[in-house]
Amino acid sequence: MQSSNTTDEARRLLEICNACRYCEGFCAVFPAIELRRSFTNGDLNYLANLCHNCRGCYYACQYAPPHEFAINLPKTLAELRGETYVEYAWPKPFAVFFKKNGTVVSIATALGIAAVFLLTAGLQSPQILKDVHTGPGAFYKVIPEGAMIGVALGTTGFAILAMVIGAIRFWRDTGGGKATGLHALATAARDVLTLRYLGGAGDGCNNRDEQFSQTRRVYHHALFYGFTLCMGSTTVAAIYDHILGWPAPYAFLSVPVLLGTFGGIGMMIGTAGLYWLKLVGDQTPTARKWMGSDYALLMQLFLAAATGLALLVFRSSSAMGALLALHLGIIFSFFAMMPYSKFVHGVYRSAALLRYAHERRNSGQPEVATHS
Ligand code: SF4
Ligand code: SF4
């Protein structure tokens, strides 16, 4: 259950903001507030996930500490956002993974790596990890095809199911209703794909201090589109292997390798940049309790990309076996923990943007005009 302290504090702040309305051009949160006279717990969960944590309202607020109103909206909404991940997690007992989430995700990654190494050495042979394997099907000589596909489909399928159920719970709790209308869907898709509200009031967000910058948006784009390219690479490779009968590895200029290379580089730049921004940024408008979760996911994604690129470079050497086991250990643990890591922010934020596009259209409220 959500802590009443956090929901009470969020309600207190949003009621003050709804009277003040100074920040109404900053993001979607403030126009969404204006459509309400009071805030249910579902409304608060929706607004917490609609917030992109740009921090603009914290530095602009005349009621921020040391004022007695002590308004710190980014911090409170980030704390509540973390609690919504627990609230909507499926199956319910697995919500416990959000407790000390940074440590849990790190341990899961280490266990995933250890399991792949131990199973490969135990069920195949330790020498398999040291031998040179080349030519079509080389990767399957280290990790058998059935095991690789079985674990990949099992972890990915479960992650998708858990996140879809979480999204349905979020949608019902935050108002339910049919998400119909191509216009609302197109608006939400645009806002997600362009990270529209990380543009702040036109100059970006307050990443480190009161200065505006587009840096966070750029790094987030690098990570998001890098991840998307890597998913594209895996999909094309699966078609090559299982439909066309062309098992990996593929040539350096082949479609899966090019997608994976650019995607991996994008992910490394994005994760390293976002990690750095978190380290050097002002900690006051942040929810420190959830910082470990942010760092663990960024580290997991960075390692997934780095080991994937290392595997590409050293695939014809004796390091291939160990690198493949390392890479797959990280990938499998990433997918297994996906519904119980910071990754879910993308699911709930997208759903919140869809709800906002939907209710804005139904209410006839004009679009926030100041964003690029
Ligand atoms: S954050 Fe502060 S300035 Fe902005 S709307 Fe709320 S109370 Fe007003
Ligand atoms: S931190 Fe940014 S996105 Fe969140 S409520 Fe404030 S202005 Fe809006």
- Give per-residue pLDDT as tens, 18-43: 999 999 989 999 999 999 999 999 99
Average pLDDT score over residue span 234-256: 97
Token duo for residue 297? 């996911």
21 CA: nearest ligand 1 atom: 5
Asked if residue 201 has its Cβ within 6 Å of ligand 1, the reply is no
What percentage of the chain reaches a pLDDT higher than 90? 87
What does the DSSP 8-state code read for residue 367? P
| Overall pTM > 0.75 | yes
Measured CA to CA, the distance from residue 353 to residue 31 in angstroms comes to: 12
Residue among 43, 49, 55, 216 to mutate when testing ligand 2 (max atoms within 8 A of CB):
55
Nearest atom in ligand 2 to 53's CA: 1
Question: 71 in ligand 1 pocket by Cβ < 6 Å?
Answer: yes
Per-chain mean pLDDT for the chain = 94
Mean pLDDT, to the nearest integer, of 323-333?
97
pLDDT in tens, 189-210: 999 999 988 877 678 888 778 8
Residue with the two structure tokens 């362009």: 194
Output the pLDDT for position 361.
86
Q: Is 94 in the pocket of ligand 1 (CB under 6 A)?
A: no
166 vs 149: CA distance, rounded Å: 25
Residue 297, C-beta contacts closer than 8 angstroms, at least 6 positions apart: 105, 341, 342, 343
Q: What distance in angstroms lies between residue 323's CA and the mean position of ligand 2's atoms?
A: 41
What is the atom index within ligand 1 of the atom nearest the CA of 26?
4
CA torsion, points 251, 303, 227, 214, in degrees to nearest 10? Answer: -130
Average pLDDT of span 262-280: 97
Q: Does the CB atom of residue 204 touch ligand 2 within 6 A? A: no
Structure-block tokens of residue 327? 């890479």
CA gap 224, 195 in Å, rounded: 10
**Could you tell me which residue, 292 or 2, shows the higher pLDDT?**
292
For residue range 138-197, list pLDDT tens digits in order: 999 999 999 999 999 999 999 999 999 999 999 999 998 876 688 899 999 999 999 988
Q: Which runs of consecutive H residues, i.e. helices, occur in 211-319?
A: 215-242, 255-280, 291-313
DSSP one-letter code for 357:
H
Instruction: Please name which of 8, 11, 2, 172 lies closest in space to residue 87, comparing C-alpha atoms.
Output: 2
Distance from the Cα of residue 18 to its chain's centroid: 29
The CB-side HSE value for 363 (13 A sphere, CA atoms) comes to: 15
Q: Is the pLDDT of residue 270 over 60?
A: yes
**β-strand partners of 204:** 200
Distance 75 CA to ligand 1 centre (A): 13
62 Cα nearest atom in ligand 1: 3
Asked if 341 and 108 count as a contact pair (C-beta separation under 8 A), the reply is no
Q: Find out whether the beta carbon of 27 lies less than 6 Å from any atom of ligand 2.
A: yes
Question: What is the token pair recorded at 147?
Answer: 């095991």
> How far is the centre of ligand 2, averaged over its atoms, from the C-alpha of 197 (Å)?
9
Decide: 34 and 18 in contact? Cβ < 8 Å: yes
Ligand 2 closest atom vs CA 56 = 7
Q: How far apart are alpha carbons 171 and 45 in whole angstroms? A: 10
Q: Are 328 and 144 in contact (CB under 8 A)?
A: no
Of 15, 17, 75, the residue with max ligand 1 atoms within 8 A of its CB, to mutate for a pocket test, comes to 17
The pLDDT assigned to 208 comes to 79
Ligand 2, atom 2: closest residue by C-alpha: 54
Does residue 371 register a pLDDT over 80?
no
Whether residue 264 contacts residue 305, with contact meaning beta carbons closer than 8 Å, is answered with: yes
Compute the C-alpha angle 62/3/350, nearest 5°.
Answer: 70
DSSP code for 67: S
Neighbours of 150 (CB within 10 A): 11
Could you tell me the CA-to-CA distances from 23 to 18, 204, 222, 228 in Å, in that order? 10, 15, 28, 33
Q: Which residue's CA is the closest to the ligand 1 atom numbered 3?
A: 61
The atom of ligand 1 lying closest to the CA of 16 is 7
